[in-house]
Amino acid sequence: MKLICNQSELNQHLSLVCRVVPSRPSHPVLANLLLCASEENQQISLTGFDLSLGVQTSFGAQVEQAGKLTLPAKLLSDIVSRLPEGQITLDDSESEMVTLTCSSGRYQMRGMGAEEFPELPSISEAEVTLLPVDALTEGLRGSLFATSGDESKQVLTGVHLTAEADGLEFAATDGHRLAVVQTVESEGETASAEARSLDVTVPAKALRELERMIQINPGSLAVAVKFDQGQLVCEWANQRLTSRLLEGQYPNYRQLIPRQFTRQMTVERRLFVGTLERIGVLADQKNSIVKLTLDGAKQEIVLSVEAQDVGNGREAIPAQISGEDLEIAFNVRYLLEGLKAFNTTDVQMQFNAATSPSVLNPVGGMKMTYLVMPVQVRS
């Protein structure tokens, strides 16, 4: 194999692939990435795989001799990221050693045979759902933050995807809050009967990598999504991501969302976020709890924190309030993460009682429902 490529381009694609290479691989070759060079297409493809999550990306290069091999992922990435801008030559003509040459010098590293590297899973007969990049990004942004980090509740560490006639629904919960986002498919694309029955849970780690890859190198207006019994495959432009699916029954989250509310407020989102961030400085000193007091007569909401042995804080902001007054407390981080996922000027928050779940919705714009459980505090 012999090829010439640009340092910055190689570095960018290495940064995508190396994130999925395991630090403690179950097999030595999994600490490597697979590098394939094609003379016919004049392209290089890089693949990283930990047997659960795989990423493949490709880009144009001057390929003088085709071939494939595996190289230590971290070592290669660390070297390339520090090389000066310009052309890089990779040559494996020397026995068992790969030579990397740049304008300022040369490096050699030992690789392993490509035949030992496992193939990424493929799904050939599954129905394809084309999801617009904008809609996919919106769905991930509005759901990933609400997944659980507790591996003992493994099914909650993923995002649940349900296909509907005109798009996908993203849902995530950690048991304390629930985020649900509906997105629509691209114009002219209709889901098949099989795609409409889709009901899978995808690990948050895989979806975070997908979100990152799209942001760094979108390259397409839509992502082709395929599922089978245990795998997810996403393909767009010269990128591909594969992931195993999480097993287990996902909670029936729709029944958690109250159908009716007795109290409601509408507030400017950025104003609400700014006030929560300030009051949250004190809340973080104690138990991260902030109390909201709805005052219908003054049409304002009072945010307050009592951090014993530290201090206290109180701010009032204007809001449109209907229903009886209410005092209710929340984990300040839960409120902030949900509000920051919205993309609208105003937000609506609905309540029943101090011990009942509250629901936040953006006013206009994205279709998102964010349910948060209140915290009981002693008077």
Complete DSSP assignment for 91-144: E--STTEEEEEETTEEEEEE-B-GGGSPPPP--SSS-EEEEEHHHHHHHHHTTG
- pLDDT, tens only, 37-48: 999 989 999 999
pLDDT (tens, 9 = 90+) of the chain, 379 residues, equals 999 999 999 999 999 999 999 989 989 999 999 999 999 989 999 999 999 999 999 999 999 999 999 999 999 999 999 999 999 999 988 767 899 999 989 999 998 889 999 999 888 777 787 888 888 898 999 999 999 999 889 999 999 998 777 778 999 999 999 999 998 654 444 444 344 457 889 999 999 999 999 988 766 788 888 888 789 999 998 899 999 999 999 999 999 999 999 999 999 999 999 999 999 998 888 789 999 999 999 999 999 998 888 888 999 999 999 999 999 999 999 999 999 999 899 999 999 999 999 999 999 888 999 999 999 876 5
Alpha-carbon distance of 366 to 170, in angstroms, equals 12
- pLDDT, tens only, 350-369: 999 999 999 999 998 889 99
State the pTM of this model.
Answer: 0.88
Nearest alpha-carbon partner for 286 in 315, 316, 306, 256: 306
Alpha-carbon distance of 372 to 175, in angstroms, equals 9
The pair of three-digit structure tokens given for residue 216, joined into one six-digit string:
């760094």
Q: Which residues does 349 contact at the CB level (< 8 Å), separation at least 6?
A: 264, 265, 266, 267, 358, 359, 360
